[in-house]
Structure formats: structure tokens, C-alpha cells
Amino acid sequence: MKRIFLALFVLALSSLPAAAQLLEEATNSREVAMIFHKISNIKPDYGLWASYTQEYGTALAESKEEVLEEETLKMQLAYANLNVDYPKIVVRTSVKANVKQGRNAVLELDFEAPDPIYFPYHFAERDYAVIAENIDVLKNIPLGVLEASYIRNKLPLDKKVYLVMTAIPYKTDAKNPFVVEDTPFWLMLSKIATLEIYNRDLESLWSWKASWYTKAMMSTENNTKLQ
């Protein structure tokens, strides 16, 4: 069951319909791996990572050594310039939504996956799992009466919607991997900063932003202006 879950989520993260490409770009596996290593203070094997780039994979045989050197340098620079104060990870996936109306109206989101819910990434012979704290609260989101009516009228027949989540990782476990059916996943804990839900027409159905994230971004902008 868990293996099916992983396959479904990899598909959902990488194969959303063309219309969804207008949404904020999702963080790719290489970027997730880089964030994990930076937070863990573990320098990656730049040469190995460079060998997994498209540029190296498609290079002519006589150019591979030169391309590998160039891509290795790019990896080193990207890692050195990565700011881990607020290294956001943008997750885009599809979930099933349902609205229960009435005095205690709620928006129910079904990830169609067993607990614990996590987002898997694979890069350069390693698997990473991004865990978003308190993601279970999304299973029952309180709504106002008008809000519930609006969302329900905008849901497609199959109830599938796009979920775009910004998560801010803050802690990793680089010693004890989380094993799922003999596959070790390196964990990265994160806090949910923003959430947005869209239907297939990319109409916004519901959104939320953490107050701490708003304050952090305002502080960052003010500090940038002072420099």
C-alpha cells in the first residue's frame, strides 16, 4: 500500500496537466536534496550530483569531462549561495476535496494516501521525505457558510483540486533514515507557510498564510532595503 502511495505522489508532483503549469513552480528533487544537505551541514558529492544533470547526460562523449567540470562548479556555487534562513519548498499536487455545508461547514481534503503523509523526492541515488507539520488539520478545514457554498459550486465532478503548499524546512535527520519497504528516506521536517487550493480552471477556492511567515517576509524585505 505504501509503495503505491509513493508512486502516486511522484506522478502527481511531476505530471500535473498543462494548465497547472501557470501556478508557482514546484521545487525539484535536486533543490530539495541541496536544502537537506545545507541544513544538515553536510557537503554533497558535487561530482556525483553533476553526473545526474541533463546537461551531462545529453553531452557528447568527447565533451562529457568538460561538461562534468562545468556542472560540478554550478553545483558548488548553488550550494554556497543557498540561503537556509527561509529555504522554501513549494509542493504542487492534486487532492480530493469535499464540502460539508451547514452551521459547522468544513472543507475536507483527502490525500488518498495512508498516514503519515509525506512528500517523496529522489535525486542522485538518495530518497528524501519532506514532512509538513500539522498537515492533518487539512483533512477538516472550518468554513463560513458563504465560503462553503462558493467552494462547493466550483468543485469539479470528480472533486479533484490542485494543492499548492509552501513549506519551510527547519530540521533534518541525517543519521536515522525513515525506512519504507526497504527504501531509506532522509527526513526533513517543515512548517507550512502558505496553502492555496485551485480547481481545474485555476480559480482560487481557498488560501491561507501563516502569520509568522508574513512577519518573517516583511522583516526580510526591510533588512534588504537597509542594505
pLDDT digits (tens, 9 = 90+) for 132-184: 999 988 899 999 999 999 999 999 999 999 999 999 999 999 998 988 878 99
Contact 176, 112 (CB under 8 A): no
Distance of alpha carbon 120 from alpha carbon 101, whole angstroms:
34
**Average pLDDT for residues 24-30, to the nearest whole number?**
91
pLDDT digits (tens, 9 = 90+) for 202-224: 999 999 999 998 888 776 665 55
pLDDT at 17: 53
pTM: predicted TM-score of the whole model, two decimal places: 0.84
For the chain, the domains span 2-27+90-226
DSSP letter assigned to residue 218: H
Residue reference for cell 503548499: 165
pLDDT digits (tens, 9 = 90+) for 100-122: 988 899 999 998 887 788 999 99
Please tell me whether residue 88 adopts helix, strand or coil conformation: coil
